[in-house]
Each structure stands twice: as C-alpha cells, then as structure tokens.
C-alpha cells in the first residue's frame, strides 16, 4: 500500500517549473501580480491618501504630481482608490473561483467516479451552460439581490460548469488506470481512491483553469459592479469606479479610464500566467 499511495502519473514536476521560468510573458504576468498583491496587502501604507476622503476643492483634477492619477467628482484620489480597490477585486476573484473550484471539483469527481451520478450532474451543467456567463450571474443576482457578496456567489456559480467538466473528464480517465485498479483490489475505499489518486492527478489542468478563471471572474465581477448589480459606491471597486466615471466621460475620461486599466492589467497578468502554466504543464498545446 505504501508503494501504491505514491503512485502517480509521470508528473511534469521540475520540467514544468523550468519551462514556466523560461516563459518571459508568464514571468512578467507573475511578477506584476506579485506587485499588485503586495500593494493590495499593504494598501493603507502604500496609498498616498484615504480612498474615501472627500475634498470638494480638489474635485475632477487631471493627473498631477500631487494626485498621480487625478481625482474624481468628489475630489477623492484615484490612485489611492485603485490601490485599495486591488484588495476588493483580488478578493472577489479568489472567493468566486474558490466557490467554482470547490463546488465544480466535487461535482466533477462525483460525476466522473460514480456512474449513476453522472447524468444528473452533467444535465445540470448543461443547463448552467445554456446561460451566457454574465446572464447567469445576472439571473442569480436577480434572485439574491444586488450586492458585492451576492455578485461573488453569482460569478462563482458561473465558473462551476468548467471545473465540473474538467474534473469529470480527468476522473473518467484516471479511474480506469492500473494503479487505481490495484488500489481497489487491495481494498481501498472510493473516498480514498478519489482523494489519493484521482484528485492529485487532476490538479495540473485545474491549476491552469483556476488561473484563467481568476481573470474571467475579476472581469465578470467588475461588469456586475459597473451595471450596479455588484459592489456599490463609495466602495473603491474598479467596476463601480468606472461606472461613476461614466457620467463625466466627455470632459474627464481619466475617472473611468484608470480603474478600467487596472482591471485590464490584472486580467492580462492572470491570462499571461494561465497561458504560461498551460504551456508549461502541457507543451503540446503551445502551438
């Protein structure tokens, strides 16, 4: 059993790590994300001003040495709001994908491992996939009511089908492998087989999907906030900030532009890292 518990498919391991480190775009994405995460963690120290401090004397100022990205219609410093907004956007992304990953992986493992559960779970996923992702999120927000917490749930549920399908297909293939058969012959329970063999061998594609889903989740949550269905002003969430700048777009486009560019940078970084991880873990997909 000791030998069996170590049984894994040949793991990409250090080769993948080396390939990832050689991928300059992915490394740039990872580096940029690291800076953003540090800025988010130390936001109160890094941000030059209080993100909610109103100063009507300084309203609608273009970028200047005093306010690097200008001020909004209430005189709030846009750079400080973006730095604090990084906390919110990254948290939304992580929680949403956490919901999708947790629910989706569990359902996928059940569907892939227990034949009787496969049809109902797959049918449910087909139904969820029959809604365009934003529309599904809107439908869920419609039921639960607008707000940042409900937006996270809505975006998270929207990511469930992708995780379920991926884990299901991995589980379907892994459960037929010889080492799983051997473990079963030695009396390992279904739970043990899933936890010790099926799940670890499904991890690589899940990491890739999780990274790419973070980009999509942050974008989707920003869209919900922009529509007034997610985070609400004065919360410095990037989508809500862009929505606030909408009314001033003719003369002060910087109010909507800088938060939108922040979303763009984060989404791009996650996409670069996700693409890099995919190429590193499965070099055949590179072309």
Q: Where along the sequence are the contacts to another protein (CB under 8 A)?
A: 123-124, 126-128, 130-135, 138-139, 141-146, 215, 219, 222-223, 226-229, 239, 242-243, 245-246, 249-250, 253, 256-257, 260-261, 263-264, 267-268, 271-272, 287
**Residue number, 34 or 249, with CB nearest to another protein:** 249
Please tell me the distance from the alpha carbon of residue 205 to that of residue 12, in angstroms, as a whole number.
12
Shortest distance, position 230 Cβ to another protein, whole Å: 12
**Residue 141 near residue 152, CB atoms below 8 Å:** no
Shortest distance, position 93 Cβ to another protein, whole Å: 13
Helix (H) and strand (E) counts for the chain? 13, 0
Whole-angstrom Cα Rg for the chain: 22
β-bridge mates for residue 77, sequence order: 71
Please tell me the distance from the alpha carbon of residue 35 to that of residue 42, in angstroms, as a whole number.
11
**Residue number, 183 or 223, with CB nearest to another protein:** 223
Shortest distance, position 275 Cβ to another protein, whole Å: 8
End-to-end, the C-alpha distance of the chain in Å comes to 40
Shortest distance, position 262 Cβ to another protein, whole Å: 10
**Residue number, 180 or 245, with CB nearest to another protein:** 245
Classified as helix, coil or strand, 268 is: helix
**Residue number, 17 or 253, with CB nearest to another protein:** 253
**Residue number, 82 or 219, with CB nearest to another protein:** 219
Shortest distance, position 223 Cβ to another protein, whole Å: 6
Classified as helix, coil or strand, 126 is: helix
């Amino acid at each position: 059993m000791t030998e069996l518990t170590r049984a894994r498919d040949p793991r990409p391991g250090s080769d993948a790590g080396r390939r990832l480190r050689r991928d300059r775009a992915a490394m740039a994405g990872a580096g940029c994300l690291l800076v953003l995460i540090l800025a988010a963690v130390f936001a109160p120290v890094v941000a030059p001003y209080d993100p909610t401090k109103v100063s009507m004397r300084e309203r609608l100022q273009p970028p200047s040495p005093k306010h690097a990205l200008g001020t909004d219609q209430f005189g709030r410093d846009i750079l400080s709001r973006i730095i604090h907004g990084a906390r919110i956007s990254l948290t939304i992304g992580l929680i949403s994908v956490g919901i999708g990953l947790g629910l989706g992986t569990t359902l996928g493992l059940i569907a892939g491992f227990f034949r009787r559960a496969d049809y109902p779970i797959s049918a449910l996923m087909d139904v969820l996939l029959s809604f365009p992702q934003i529309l599904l999120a809107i439908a869920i927000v419609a039921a639960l009511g607008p707000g940042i917490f409900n937006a996270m749930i809505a975006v998270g549920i929207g990511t469930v089908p992708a995780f379920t399908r991926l884990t299901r297909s991995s589980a379907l293939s892994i459960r037929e492998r010889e080492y799983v058969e051997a473990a079963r012959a030695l009396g390992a329970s279904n739970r043990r087989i899933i936890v010790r063999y099926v799940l670890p061998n499904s991890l690589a594609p899940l990491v890739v999907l999780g990274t790419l889903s973070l980009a999509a989740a942050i974008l989707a949550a920003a869209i919900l906030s922009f529509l007034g269905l997610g985070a609400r002003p004065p919360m410095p969430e990037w989508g809500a900030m862009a929505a606030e700048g909408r009314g001033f777009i003719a003369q002060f486009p910087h109010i909507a532009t800088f938060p939108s560019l922040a979303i763009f940078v984060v989404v791009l970084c996650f996409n670069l890292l996700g693409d890099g991880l995919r190429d590193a873990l499965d070099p055949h997909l590179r072309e």
